[in-house]
Amino acid sequence: MSAPEIFFVGDDALAVKLAERAARHALAAALRASGQWVDVVPGKGEVTVQFDPLVVPPRQAEALLRQQAVDIPETEDVSVQAITLHMQADDTAGPDLARIAAENGLTAEAFLARISASPLIVDMMGFTAGFAYVSGLDPALIAPRLDTPRQRVPAGSVGMISGQLGLYALAGPAGWPIIGRIAEPLFDARREAPFTLEAGVSIQLVIER
């Protein structure tokens, strides 16, 4: 394949531009496994790495990344992890569910059926600790952000905006309408990998009402 575009993000970070999500996740995994970078962060159009210039000078880091980016693993070689999560969807767990379903001209049951039938995949983690951006949501379903964010939603809350779900692993402020709550813990400090989700994981959502 042709060499992807690489550019500096400040004086101690570099990014590789990659349009395809699976390629970004494969490259991010390979870069993290190389142990050469302080942080490796997939975004929605690129993979960004941070380095310590006193350990790896910037031009050396650029050359290293250029070399690593050419050897992107073939995406079909990357196994897609799948996980089943149960979403409680009542007025308590999903305070905006009834309203958003109605705004889409659907009963709550029909609205939730469309969500659970969507090919959901964790696009990236970010924003705050453990927050998962989940893409693949049925594009016909729409929901605007809240005008006033909630100060605190419980851990496991499922937010929705048009085209995306957002899973809040920890309790905290939330600007997306909340349509349910995941029953399984998305965060457990005692586990070696405390967060259940990571970029590239596909989600089968089972609705519980």
Partner 1 sequence: MVVTVLTPGPLATLQGSARRGLRHQGIPASGPADPLSMALANRLCGNLPDVTAVEITFGGAAFEFRQDTVFSFAGAALSATLSGAPVPAHETLEAKNGDVLAFAHPAAGVRTYLAISGGLRAEAMFGSASTFLPAGFGGFLGRVLRAGDQMERAGAANKPPPLATPTPLRPHMARAHSLRAVPGPDFAALTPAVWRETFQTTNRMDRTGLELTGNWPKPEAGAHRPSAALFAGAVQLTPSGNGFVLLPDAQTTGGYPHILQVIRADRHLLGQIAPGDRVSFLTRSVDDAYQDLRAKAGYLAEWLPEFCF
Q: Mark residues 109-148: x for contact with partner 1 by CB under 8 A, - for none.
A: ---------------xxxxxxxx-x---------------
User: Which run of H or of E encompasses 79?
Assistant: none
40 contacts partner 1 (rule: CB under 8 A): yes
Q: Which of 42, 127, 25, 130 minimizes the C-alpha distance to 81? A: 25
Kindly provide the residue ranges of all beta strands, DSSP E only, lying in 18-119, ordered along the sequence: 39-42, 46-50, 82-88
53 contacts partner 1 (rule: CB under 8 A): yes
Please pick, from the candidates 3, 20, 34, 52, the single residue that binds partner 1 as defined by CB under 8 A.
Answer: 52
CA angle 179, 98, 87 (to 5 degrees): 30
Binding span for partner 1 by CB under 8 A among 51-59, 78-86, 95-103, 140-148:
51-59
57 contacts partner 1 (rule: CB under 8 A): yes
- Classify burial at 152, counting beta carbons within 10 Å of its beta carbon; exposed 0-12, middle 13-18, buried 19 or more: exposed
191 contacts partner 1 (rule: CB under 8 A): no
Residues that bind partner 1 (CB under 8 A): 7-13, 15, 28, 32, 38-46, 48, 50, 52-54, 57-59, 124-131, 133, 170-173, 189, 194-195, 198-199
